[in-house]
Amino acid sequence: MNQHGNQRQDLICISHLRWDFVWQRPQQLLSRLARHYRVLFVEEPVTDTNIDKPYLETYPDHTPDAQPVTIVRLHYPSTDHYWIGHNDPRTQPDGERLLLDYMAREEIHRPVLWLYTPVAAPFVQVIQPELLIYDVMDELAAFKDAPMELKLADRQLLAQADLVFTGGASLYRARQPYHHNIHLFPSGVDIEHFARADREAFALPADIAHIASPRLGYFGVIDERMDRTLLAHLAAAHPEWNLVMLGPVIKIAPEDLPQAPNLHYPGMKDYNELPAYLAHFDVALVPFAMNEATRYLSPTKTLEYLAAHKPVVSVPIPDIVELYGDFVRIGHTPAEFTAHVEAALATSATERAARRPQETELLARYTWDNIAEQMYQLIDNGYTHKTSATPHVVPSVLAQV
């Protein structure tokens, strides 16, 4: 039942990410919000040279222990390259018609509209939502090949939105002057999922069975934000260390990644497989380059590593330093980063056990369940106060920055 006493309210999310890509913020939140809403997840369009007319594909994703989310994928007959976030109905009227036809068949009227990219703002006029939410999870304008107009589109969407969430403290501060009802929700963690790496005796996965310890591990997207110089330095400084870099390689050529006998790229792994790999990391890494593209990062993997009680070494990403600096070793240079890995490997079992209660307390503040429930309360409040003369702001528990 929704706040009006009827069947579950509809929520449509327009995203620049694929649902079956790396399992991250959109999937974590929307699979939980599906307990309260009928959720449609509209992906960035697929272009296909083998079709002569557009069509819409839908399928349910049955996430364990959660209500299903319906995935909506628009296919266009085109050879055009879509930059991440190019999901604009003005340039694809056939796609607009297909989506509206689907909504009519499913009796979806005035839903909650949740946007992850400002380029999708034209959907506001198409869908006519009852409430508009903008969840800022990345500084998309800083990504490689980002459209020049993205910053302006971001400001325009901030002006339209009823409710704004941000995925990190840096993103929050950058947008706080532009919206009266903005809330900080940094990356969360599914504690039980990643704690399995600590509690269960996982066999060494077959594709890394030949890789000896000590293993320095990373999982996530491998793209232009990776500090390739740092990876090469780590591999050269300690040939006896093995770097295991799990994840899809996108927006850079695989051959542009540093190569060494102790550098390994096993590829993308399913979310459910990650604990088995994490269990065999001796040290977990956050090896991003420090530049404009990473200035606003709040990497989800940091808490996922800590849920397995792994020692973590990171570059000085501002959000990591601010939120988790007491739990993560911070290396400002390749040499300092290497020294922190050396120290992490030398840490005794007694020292590691002593830090567990503090890690557990930290993790409890940032669970995806708690974040999704706080968001739900804010959305529900948004209906009540949308027409109020004076904006009513409910501060997030996490928004103490």
d(CA 317, CA 265): 23
Interval 316-331 mean pLDDT: 96
Q: What percent of the chain has pLDDT over 90?
A: 69
Neighbour tally for 370: CB within 10 Å: 16
The CATH code of domain 9-188+368-385 reads: 3.40.50.2000
User: What are the domain boundaries of the chain?
Assistant: 9-188+368-385, 191-364
Total count of residues recorded for the chain = 401
Model pLDDT, residue 295: 86
Q: Is 319 exposed, middle or buried (0-12, 13-18, 19+ CB in 10 A)?
A: buried
Range of lowest pLDDT (4-18, 77-91, 375-389): 77-91
Nearest Cα neighbor of 288 from 250, 342, 253, 334 is 334
Model pLDDT, residue 15: 92
- CATH topology (fold) of 191-364: Rossmann fold (3.40.50)
Model pLDDT, residue 79: 52
pTM for the whole thing? 0.85
Q: What percent of the chain has pLDDT over 70?
A: 86
Q: What is the mean pLDDT of the chain?
A: 88
Question: pLDDT per residue over 226-268, tens digit each?
Answer: 999 999 999 999 999 999 999 999 989 999 999 999 999 999 9
> Would the pLDDT of 18 be above 70?
yes
Interval 12-26 mean pLDDT: 91
Interval 102-121 mean pLDDT: 93
Neighbour tally for 345: CB within 10 Å: 16
d(CA 42, CA 16): 9
Q: Report DSSP state, residue 85.
A: T
Judge contact between 99 and 126, C-beta under 8 A: yes
